[in-house]
Structure 1
Amino acid sequence: MGLGIHKRLTHGLIGLSLVSLLAACSGSGTSGKETDPGKENAKAEKPPEPIELKLHFFGVAEEEFNTRFKDTLQKKFPHITFKWLKSSGPQSTIEEIVAAGEVPDIIRGLSSTVQTRYLDLGLGYDMRDMVKKYNYDLSRFSSVFIDGFQALTAQNGELYGLPVSPFFSRVLYYNKEVFDKFGQPYLQDGMNWDQIYELARKMTRTEAGIDYRGFSANVSSLLTYNEYSLSTLDPAKDELSQFDTWQKLLNNYMRFYQIPNNAIRPTLAEEGAMFQKGTVAMHADIYSPYLDLSMLKNWDMVSTPIIEGAPKKIGTFPPGYLMIAKQSKYKDEAFKVIMEMLSDEVQMRDSRNGFLPTLAKKEFMNVLGQDNPAYKNKNMKAVGYYEFAPLRPARQKGMTVIETNKADALLRDAFLNAALGKEDVNTALRKADELLRKEVEAEKSKKK
């Protein structure tokens, strides 16, 4: 996969008032002995007992956790040892970890899988008591991440997790070398898809035996993280959601692949990698601190174009969520660790390194990428040029749920088939709708 946050809670220092009180009382007793304030302080400040917290962080490598969080956590909580449970490779899924009897204390999950890979496993813990106990300010976070997550997961207002980067915003990259070669002015923030289409037509050509394409895309991000916050499976019906809107979305992107010599590659993975080859002028994708464009000498990015009539919002790949297992013996310690991971200091450092902050204050977004060599001289305003779109809605209560990725894959296949000329957009969408209905029926049959 690839980029802060609350007021740090402080603990009152115990001992200063106690020392003063003891000093004032010394000599007033009949024994003539003075109480040793050092010993009293030692009792008051007895270090906490050592504990171990087990972590299962889906989508994050241990090296990244160590770089972003571990030093800070170990300095803040020297009595805590962190045990990293692998989250990739054989026997590493949360289901397998739990089945083996090793329930993590802190779990990083995704909003799209929190139902099947957290709640359905009986791990759900409502953090609202901890929020109240520590007077934790949830308004620090962008509201779309808190409100959206509760809408997806809560039955009665439960709060099962707090948002943590990475998450990814959509942008439009462009290769300045190709623009210079063809004498075209650079892109600007706020352009629309019609303008980009006309440029793509002009810049798709062959020069000195080299084929240049005007446009390529990470199609998955265009469809899944759309400005309408549109889910593939309808929240209230067992069918494709809003057929007409999907038709509008697919047709908008299809026209780029109907430009002569700008055909889509045979697979979406190949299409997504075309920009790095240096012969594509513009590329629609997510902004990510993990994206490697070092092979390009001169590139930049602008805001993602918006479809005419659509909300002027940026579709995002949502953040992860830090959650506590209800079986954990150390819920207070786990919550304190989560608060530290999401602190202003940590998120400010994260943002400077290129990770999008989950906090609402603009000061965190304003430093995005300043310490990241790949991004420090780029147009970072593009990343947050529009507001972030809400998270895609969940299925309504009582509706059969299927894996989000499975539903989205059907839509991606429909687009690819249409873009490759195998069928028209309407036919491709009708087939996707039919397959979605079958997936729902198959899921229903499992529960009979």
Structure 2
Amino acid sequence: MKGLVRKNVLIVMIAILSISLLSGCAGTRSKESSASKEGKVTVDFWTFWGSETRKPVIEKIINDFNKSQDKIYVKHTYLPYGDIWTKELAAVAAGNPPDVVINDINTVQHRAAKNQNTDLSKYIKDSSFKDRFYPQLWQTVLYKNHPYGVPFNTDERVLYYNKDLFKKAGLDPNKPPQTWDELWSYAKKLDVKENGKYKTIGFYPLWGVGADVWMLNADGTSFFDYEKNKPVVNDQDNIDALNWALKFQNHYGKNTIQQYKAQFGQQQANPFIAGKVAMYTEAATFYTQLRDYGKDINWGITKLPAKTKGSGHTSWGGGFAAEIPKGAKHPKEAWEFIKYLTGKKSQAYWAAKNFDLVANKAGAKAAATSDLLNAKGKKTYKFISEYFNETEITPTPLSAPDYTSIINPEIDKAMAGKKSPEQAMNDAQKAVEKLISNHQ
């Protein structure tokens, strides 16, 4: 019992110390942001970019901004990806937020509705400011037609394919598949089996992306019709996409798929980089893995094949936006930094160094000709920046927060054979409708 008491006392002491440290950090941050560095106003900028690759890039952009004028000093605060937004919302609630934060672009509207970020329309004097960005990204940061963030970067899904394996299979390496039927046909021609086991797999649609990407690709609409403001989870195209994915799963077998899946994301061991998979759907940034670990792979890149000829090559993207949290001490100075951060020069540098698809159209165009990229990098970046015109963003509907957590388990049940695709999507539709009803 005494040991238990001592243990409980220790836990309480640790908790008190943790709270004290957090309070101290918040107080220090407030003091620093209110003070000036060499007569400048300090703007506290929170990001989750702390890797060896991204941290030097963002800090160079910050340093360039700091040197470009004599009124504002931007201080970079790094917080881990899993913590930054929880801590930012806690700081907003406590009245001591950062001045600028990088946040999820798909939920900007939710924070605006909860009064957690700042309406930027009063700072935007140029009516053409929005035209600097891809329109589908700008639309995502609007709440009641007012911008509550500025798009920073995004991504899209593409199809990578192995040209040498195409040649071995008798396929033209300059003519990748354009439809789902062609994907299926090509995959079977690219399959190589030895002693009853697959030496090479042609293609599996749920490696690198989820079924939702193919549902979006099918007709340009995934789970939610934004124009009609209603869920369309059980749309026939979504059911067709699940049946199509199941056809591949049945073809290769669940055990084979699981064995291969375990190797994805392991750089050199990645089955596409190792030449064990002929076609692979991934984010466009997969280019950097091919550049660094797949020097011997003769690869090509193309749009996601259309469900049927003429139905469109729609891809899916996400991304991040720069926001001024509600209650920021220096919103005017924060806005000046955001303009620089999302301007052509900064965006082109970020894009070329990280091979990120940036939100600023002029910045993306400049990156495609940057000397920081080699010839293949320039060609690839030009392709992905132009393909973004066919890429859709799927912001979380205000009426259905976290709705994908309801749908994804139903998709899993369909892929596991526990439900038919029709039943799974019908059940998911009903659940989302109930979620919306509960939020009205």
Please state if 1:307 is matched with 2:307.
Answer: yes
Of 218, 221, 239 in structure 2, the residue corresponding to residue 230 of structure 1 is 221
2: CA distance between counterparts of 1:327 and 1:51? Answer: 16
Q: Report the CA distance shift for 1:345/1:219 in structure 2 as closer, same or farther (over 3 A).
A: closer
Mapped to 2, the partners of 1:190 and 1:386 lie a distance apart of 19
CA-to-partner distance for each residue in 1:201-221, whole Å, 9 max, x for gaps? 111221476521111332326
d(CA) in 1 for partners of 2:51, 2:376: 24
Larger-Rg structure: 1
CA distance 1:136–1:183, change in 2 (3 Å)? closer
Aligned length: 384
Of 313-322 and 285-294, the range deviating more from structure 2: 285-294
Match of 1:218 in 2: 208
Equivalent in 63, 67, 72 of residue 75 of structure 1: 67
SS in 1 for 2:356: coil
CA distance in 2, matches of 1:185, 1:262: 30
* Higher deviation after alignment, 243-252 or 90-99: 90-99
- Checking the alignment, whether the CA contact within 8 Å between 1:300 and 1:378 is kept in structure 2 is no
SS in 1 for 2:332: helix
1:369–1:278 CA distance, 2 compared to 1 (3 A): farther
Q: For CA contacts below 8 A with separation 6 or more, give which structure has more relative contact order.
A: 1
1:364 to partner: Cα distance: 0.8
Equivalent position of 1:27 in the other structure: none
Deviations 1:33-92 (A, max 9, x none): xxxxxxxxxxxxxx98322212233x5437525413223222224540414151435576
Shift in CA distance, 201/387, structure 1 to aligned 2, threshold 3 Å: same
The residue matched to 1:130 in structure 2 has which SS? coil
* Counterpart position of 2:289: 292
1:119 corresponds to which of 108, 112, 127:
112
**Partners of 1:169 and 1:80 in 2: how far apart?**
34
Residue correspondence of structure 1 range 98-113 to structure 2 within 5 A:
98-99=92-93, 101-113=95-107
Q: How does 1:14-413 map to 2 (within 5 A)?
A: 49-57=39-47, 60-61=49-50, 64-68=54-58, 69-77=61-69, 79-89=72-82, 93=86, 94-99=88-93, 101-116=95-110, 118-132=111-125, 137-150=129-142, 154-155=143-144, 157-165=145-153, 167-188=154-175, 191-207=178-194, 211-216=199-204, 217-220=207-210, 222-223=213-214, 226=217, 228-233=219-224, 240-241=232-233, 243-260=235-252, 265-266=257-258, 270=262, 273=265, 274-288=271-285, 292-293=289-290, 294-296=292-294, 297-298=296-297, 299-308=299-308, 311-353=311-353, 354-361=355-362, 364=365, 367=368, 371-372=372-373, 376=377, 379-383=380-384, 384-385=386-387, 387-392=389-394, 395=397, 400-403=399-402, 407-413=403-409
Which residue identity does 2:129 align to in structure 1? D
Q: 1:92 to 1:342 in 2, by over 3 A?
A: closer
Match of 1:275, SS state, is coil
Distance 2:375 2:421 in 1: 38
- 5+ residue gaps, structure 1: 1-46
Seen in structure 2, the aligned counterparts of structure 1 residues 135 and 179 have a Cα distance that, compared at 3 Å, is closer
Contact 1:228 1:310 in 2 (8 A): no
Letter in 2 for 1:213: I
SS at match of 1:285: strand
- Structure number with the higher helix fraction is 2
Letter in 2 for 1:188: K
Aligned residue for 1:104, secondary structure, equals coil
| TM-score, length basis structure 2 | 0.73
Distance (whole Å) between structure 2 residues aligned to residue 244 and residue 224 of structure 1: 10
3-state SS of paired residue (1:402): coil
TM-score, normalized by length of structure 1? 0.72
Structure 2: unaligned runs, 5 residues or longer: 1-36, 266-270
SS of 1:258's partner is: helix
